[in-house]
Amino acid sequence: MSNTDEDQHFVKNAVDAAINIGVLFGLVMWCFNIAAPFIQVILWGIIIAIGASPIYRWINHKLGGRKGLTASVFIVLMSAVLITPSVYFSESLLASVQALSADIENNTLSIPAPPAAISDLPLIGEKTYEVWHFAHQQPQQFLGQYETQAMAGAKFFVQSFANIGLSILMFLFAIILAGLFLANAKGGRAAAIKIMSRFFGERGEPLTNLAQQTVQSVVTGILGIAVLQSILAGAGFLAMDIPGAAILTIICLILAVVQIDILIILIPLSIFAFSHAGTAAAIAFLIWNIIVGLMNNVLKPILLGRGVKAPMAVVFIGAIGGMLAHGIIGLFVGAVVFVLGYTLFADWVRQQDAETANKVE
């Protein structure tokens, strides 16, 4: 074959390869666009399936290993766990807003007086006391002075309320998917191992196990603690009849998930309780809030990273960084990606060290 024929053959093969790669890339992107609306729901289904697998196994054991019945009971149970508090908090939020609107329209709005201890807080104490005292003395003028902020807050509330409804619907679908995934857990695990093995060879199965362990660690070490803290804090709010208990509980949940100490909410409320309730009850509420607030510091080192062959700091950085980049779902996706990246990098470094040691010998 002459050089000209070889060149033509090379050019033809290069063109064919470029066309094949282009078609394949276009097909992949097309499939991604089709699946994009469902990716988040599927990911949440996988996360719920991994995090709630102990509950599923317990139900399956009690029902004698009947997978179909177990999946149905699991879906109903998890849906009830999701819907019941959501409906309660939604009704409480709506009732609070309606009561506030009625008080504003009827000029009967009353804001309690600030506790004297507020002014003793460092940095923000005096200013907070002044604003709070003005709101107590002249509630209508206070609202008029901050009308723009109030309107923005009302708009944000309406949007958030609508988003809550969509989120509940999405999680219902995710719970259904989780039940189906758990009913076919062996097949799903085998498929995951095959995919990971295609990319990473013999390390596919260990990395699949690591991803599963990381999700379970984040569920218990971050999300689980946040839910527990907010539930206990909310119970304290209800017991002390704190105004806006539902809203405050949701705020505590959000702060706990994003790893902001909820004591910044609990301590001011504890101070407020001394002017709102009896001394004994207020002291008990303060002690309760301190225990709830410090719970994160005690439980996180125990639960986060447990069973994961990676430092707790790696799991934590991946979870928080992922959340900042991709929202709540990034807690899990970020942790998994960062832990897998850390593991592969550590393996590469160890491999380099081993090769260097062999050369020295």
How far is Cα 169 from Cα 54, in angstroms, rounded to an integer? Answer: 24
Instruction: Give the E-state strand segments of 16-132 in sequence order.
Output: none
Do the beta carbons of residue 252 and residue 234 sit within 8 Å? yes
Residues of the chain with pLDDT under 70: 1-10, 89-90, 92-93, 96-97, 100, 103-105, 107-110, 112, 115-125, 140, 143-165, 305, 307, 352-361
Q: What's residue 145's pLDDT?
A: 67
The candidate with the shortest Cα–Cα distance to 275, out of 89, 134, 119, is: 119
Amino acid, single-letter form, for residue 226:
A
Percent of the chain with pLDDT over 90: 0
d(CA 149, CA 256): 25
Check residue 270 and give its pLDDT. 84
pLDDT score for 3: 59
pLDDT digits (tens, 9 = 90+) for 307-359: 677 788 888 888 888 888 888 888 888 888 888 888 888 888 877 656 565 55
Rounded-to-integer distance, Cα 215 and Cα 336, Å: 7
Distance CA 232, CA 312 (A): 25
